[in-house]
């Protein structure tokens, strides 16, 4: 792990995008400052982001300040280099690889949807989206129409991203719902047949796999 982390630091020090791309496990998920997400399926897609997007001063400082000797294996959670901005290393087939970037740069990817094929990866990004209260990102994680059931049992059908965003952060990211999502142990999530995957408890959300990607289709507040 420390060897891989040192290689990452060297790539950032030299601003070597090609080397950094070789240290990734694809698809790699990139989280932008806006909260927008992108799943990049190949080295070519990653390289297309450009050095200016990856090697920002904050990212470079975050990686350089990481004490490689003190990194520990977080198992399912991987190993984080940096802080608010940085990247995560996971062990893939015996080798440590980057599978997540948390950038302070704006998105250069033109996408109206978040397309993530791995269930636990999607759940992790949902938790981050609730933490940031990014309604725009959440709207891109849904397969419309979705049903929102509020605490009084009232059900509302949301037919588009615009309609969801129009509700406002306070109406969507309620305190109870946000707490339930944050407390979800994503390492224990399992797909239950046609019922999909549930995050949370009395409050939470359901996600299903549509066309190979995980999407939210119900929210319980």
Q: Is the pLDDT of residue 206 over 60?
A: yes
Beta strands in the chain (DSSP E): 24-31, 37-40, 79-82, 86-92, 95-102, 142-149, 155-158, 197-200, 204-210, 213-220
CA dist., res. 30 & res. 40, Å (int):
8
Rounded mean pLDDT, 67-82 = 81
**From the DSSP assignment, how many helices (H) and strands (E) are in the chain?**
10, 10
Where along the chain do its domains lie?
2-102, 119-220
Rounded mean pLDDT, 49-58 = 90
Q: Is the pLDDT of residue 116 over 60?
A: yes
- 62 backbone dihedrals φ, ψ, rounded to 5°: -65, -45
Distance of CA 9 to the CA centre of its chain: 22
Residue 221, pLDDT score: 94
Angle between helix 2-13 and 57-64 (nearest 10)? 150
Q: Could you tell me the pTM of the whole model?
A: 0.56
Residue 150, pLDDT score: 93
Residue 178, pLDDT score: 96
- CA-nearest of 195, 190, 196 to 213 is 196
Q: What topology does CATH give the domain 2-102?
A: Nuclear Transport Factor 2; Chain: A, (3.10.450)
Rounded mean pLDDT, 118-147 = 90
| Choices 3.40.190, 2.60.120, 3.10.450, 3.30.310: CATH for 119-220 | 3.10.450
Q: How far is CA 70 from CA 20, 52, 66, in A?
A: 22, 29, 9
Split at pLDDT 50, 70, 90, the class of 112 is low
State pLDDT tens for residues 158-185.
999 899 999 999 999 999 999 999 999 9
Q: Is the pLDDT of residue 107 over 70?
A: no
Tell me if domain 2-102 and domain 119-220 are identical in fold. yes
Q: Is 78 left (phi over 0), alpha (psi -120 to 50) or beta?
A: left
CA dist., res. 2 & res. 161, Å (int):
42
Residue 192, pLDDT score: 78
Q: Is the pLDDT of residue 157 over 90?
A: yes
Q: How far is CA 76 from CA 91, 107, 120, 124, 185, in A?
A: 9, 27, 9, 11, 11
**24-38, 104-118, 145-159: the lowest-pLDDT one:** 104-118
Rounded mean pLDDT, 26-40 = 85
Residue 52, pLDDT score: 86
CA dist., res. 55 & res. 197, Å (int):
36
Split at pLDDT 50, 70, 90, the class of 93 is confident
Average pLDDT value for the chain: 89
**85-99, 143-157, 186-200, 205-219: the lowest-pLDDT one:** 186-200
What the block records as the tokens of 44 is: 């070519």
161 CB neighbour count, 10 Å cutoff: 18
With b meaning 16 or more CB within 10 Å and e meaning fewer, what string describes 128-155? Answer: bbbeeebbebbbbbbbeebebeeeeeee
């Amino acid at each position: 792990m420390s060897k891989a982390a040192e290689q990452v630091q060297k790539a950032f020090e030299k601003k070597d995008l090609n080397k950094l791309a070789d240290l990734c496990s694809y698809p790699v998920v990139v989280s932008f400052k806006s909260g927008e997400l992108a799943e990049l399926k190949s080295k070519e897609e990653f390289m297309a982001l450009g050095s200016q997007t990856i090697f920002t001063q904050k990212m470079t400082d975050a990686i350089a300040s990481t004490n490689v000797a003190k990194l520990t294996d977080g198992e399912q959670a991987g190993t984080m280099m940096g802080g608010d901005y940085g990247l995560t290393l996971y062990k893939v087939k015996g080798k440590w690889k980057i599978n997540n970037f948390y950038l302070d740069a704006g998105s250069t990817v033109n996408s109206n949807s978040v397309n993530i094929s791995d269930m636990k990866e999607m759940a992790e990004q949902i938790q981050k989206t609730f933490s940031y209260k990014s309604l725009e990102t959440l709207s891109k994680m849904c397969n419309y129409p979705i049903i929102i059931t509020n605490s009084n049992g009232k059900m509302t059908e949301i037919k588009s991203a615009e309609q969801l965003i129009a509700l406002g952060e306070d109406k969507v990211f309620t305190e109870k719902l946000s707490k339930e999502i944050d407390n979800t142990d994503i390492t224990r999530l399992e797909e239950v047949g046609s019922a999909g995957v549930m995050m949370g408890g009395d409050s939470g959300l359901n996600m299903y796999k549509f066309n190979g990607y995980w999407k939210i289709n119900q929210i319980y507040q």
